[in-house]
């Protein structure tokens, strides 16, 4: 398709993918075609971090989530909470995810878990009981993600690394713990972890072909014990000095992404070119 098209509109950002954006633009230019990198495509209220803007949610009372976040901020401080969401399609197979959730609970780390029992099945009883007994945990069938990410209590997003979730985390300056499952997610996870330095990646949650040796020199074991050890190591770093560095990295990237959207920025200029080239008034 890239060889046949007259041009391409990309919802990414040159700040997020500077090398790829430049390479494709140079390639297209050789055949008199254009790449328009116009993203990220999110509401202004999200991109600018407006606290009063909330997205509608069919199953969750947004006021309840905000009250919970405010409570966590008051008792545990800024950047103390982990938000766990694998989107509306994916969920890790096996018991590994529940062991990681249990490790988070054992560390008394505040937690919001996006989980739909109707779609995914009953939560393990011992985990459900701990959620009920704690004032630092909340489950949501459909979490108001943008509201959660922009709240100062939120410290980390544990994500499958879909492009939308990555983009929303970046524009709010929230570093990530990557647990990729399928499709473009492994590549996204490697990029934000190894290239951008804004995430940690869980590799011991892999199964099937994902257990093959990785090109970065890691051989996943695929055992619950290996996953537990990895999770503890990641959490130690995430809430220590190394995690602070990743938070600094993503805030720098956030500012670059936002700068691209104002007049004179890369995305602004590319969108203006798109209008000029294809819109006839």
Task: Looking at the structure, tell me whether residues 79 and 179 fall in a common domain.
Answer: yes
Reply yes or no on whether the pLDDT at 102 is more than 50: yes
**Mean pLDDT (whole number) for 174-189:** 96
Residue 237 counted as domain residue: yes
Query: What's the pLDDT score for residue 59?
Result: 42
111: closest CA among 80, 88, 73?
80
Task: Looking at the structure, tell me whether residues 94 and 165 fall in a common domain.
Answer: yes
Q: How far apart are CA 189 and CA 91, in angstroms?
A: 16
* pLDDT tens-place string over residues 234-280: 999 999 999 999 999 999 999 999 999 999 999 999 999 999 998 86
Residue 2 counted as domain residue: no
Task: Looking at the structure, tell me whether residues 201 and 80 fall in a common domain.
Answer: yes
The average confidence (pLDDT) of the chain is 92
Beta strands in the chain (DSSP E): 7-10, 34-37, 81-85, 111-114, 137-140, 154-159, 176-178, 199-201
* pLDDT tens-place string over residues 190-220: 999 999 999 999 999 998 888 899 999 999 9
Q: How far apart are CA 232 and CA 107, in angstroms?
A: 10
Residue 224 counted as domain residue: yes
Query: What's the pLDDT score for residue 142?
Result: 83
**Mean pLDDT (whole number) for 132-161:** 95
The secondary structure of 106-136 as a DSSP string is HTT--EEEE--HHHH-PPPHHHHHHHHH-SS
Looking up tokens 């890369």 gives 266
Residue 146 counted as domain residue: yes
Query: What's the pLDDT score for residue 60?
Result: 45
Query: What's the pLDDT score for residue 55?
Result: 52
Query: What's the pLDDT score for residue 138?
Result: 97
Query: What's the pLDDT score for residue 121?
Result: 86
Query: What's the pLDDT score for residue 275?
Result: 94
Domain count for the chain:
2
Average the pLDDT over each of 151-160, 181-190, 271-280 and give the range with the smallest value.
Answer: 271-280
SS percent in the chain: helix, strand, coil, step 5: 45, 10, 40
Q: What is the CATH number of the domain that holds 220?
A: 3.40.50.2000
Query: What's the pLDDT score for residue 23?
Result: 97
**Mean pLDDT (whole number) for 132-139:** 96
Residues shown for the chain: 281
Which of 170-199 are b and which e, b meaning 16 or more Cβ less than 10 Å from the residue's Cβ? bbbbbbbbbbbbeeebbebbbbbbeebebb
Reply yes or no on whether the pLDDT at 130 is more than 90: yes
**Mean pLDDT (whole number) for 136-165:** 95
Reply yes or no on whether the pLDDT at 12 is more than 60: yes
Neighbours of 232 (CB within 10 A): 14
Burial class (CB in 10 A: 0-12, 13-18, 19+), 13: buried
Task: Looking at the structure, tell me whether residues 23 and 80 fall in a common domain.
Answer: no
Residue 34: phi and psi, rounded to 5, are: -130, 145
Query: What's the pLDDT score for residue 61?
Result: 56
Reply yes or no on whether the pLDDT at 64 is more than 50: yes
193 is in which domain, residue-wise?
Answer: 61-251
Higher pLDDT, 239 or 183: 239
Query: What's the pLDDT score for residue 49?
Result: 55
Residue 15 counted as domain residue: yes
The secondary structure of 33-65 as a DSSP string is -EEEE------HHHHTT-TT-----SSS-HHHH
* pLDDT tens-place string over residues 17-63: 999 999 999 999 999 999 999 999 887 766 665 444 445 444 445 88
Reply yes or no on whether the pLDDT at 281 is more than 60: no
Query: What's the pLDDT score for residue 57?
Result: 46
Query: What's the pLDDT score for residue 88?
Result: 79
Task: Looking at the structure, tell me whether residues 247 and 272 fall in a common domain.
Answer: no
Q: How far apart are CA 250 and CA 253, in angstroms?
A: 5
Query: What's the pLDDT score for residue 128?
Result: 95
Task: Looking at the structure, tell me whether residues 185 and 273 fall in a common domain.
Answer: no
Query: What's the pLDDT score for residue 48?
Result: 61
């Amino acid at each position: 398709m890239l060889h046949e098209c007259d041009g391409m509109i990309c919802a990414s950002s040159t700040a997020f993918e500077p090398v790829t954006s430049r390479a494709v633009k140079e390639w297209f230019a050789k055949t008199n075609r254009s790449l328009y990198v116009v993203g990220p495509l999110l509401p202004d209220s999200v991109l600018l971090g407006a606290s009063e803007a909330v997205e509608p949610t069919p199953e969750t009372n947004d006021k309840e989530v905000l009250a919970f976040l405010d409570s966590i901020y008051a008792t545990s401080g800024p950047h103390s909470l982990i938000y766990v969401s694998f989107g509306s399609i994916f969920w890790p197979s096996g018991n590994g995810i529940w062991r990681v959730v249990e490790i988070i609970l054992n560390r008394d780390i505040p937690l919001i878990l996006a989980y739909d029992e109707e779609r995914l099945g009953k939560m393990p009883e011992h985990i459900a009981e701990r959620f009920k007994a704690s004032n630092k945990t909340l489950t949501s069938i459909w979490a108001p993600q943008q509201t959660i990410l922009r709240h100062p209590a939120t410290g980390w997003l544990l994500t499958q690394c879909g492009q939308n979730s990555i983009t929303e985390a970046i524009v709010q300056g929230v570093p990530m713990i990557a647990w990729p499952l399928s499709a473009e997610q492994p590549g996204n996870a490697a990029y934000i972890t190894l290239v951008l330095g804004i995430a940690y990646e869980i590799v011991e949650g892999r199964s099937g072909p994902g257990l093959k040796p990785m090109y970065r020199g890691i051989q996943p074991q695929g055992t619950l014990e290996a996953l537990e050890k990895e999770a503890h190591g990641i959490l130690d770093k995430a809430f220590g000095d190394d995690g602070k560095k990743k938070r600094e990295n993503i805030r720098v990237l956030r500012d670059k992404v936002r700068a691209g959207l104002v007049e004179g920025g890369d995305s602004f200029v590319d969108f203006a070119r798109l209008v000029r080239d294809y819109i006839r008034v």
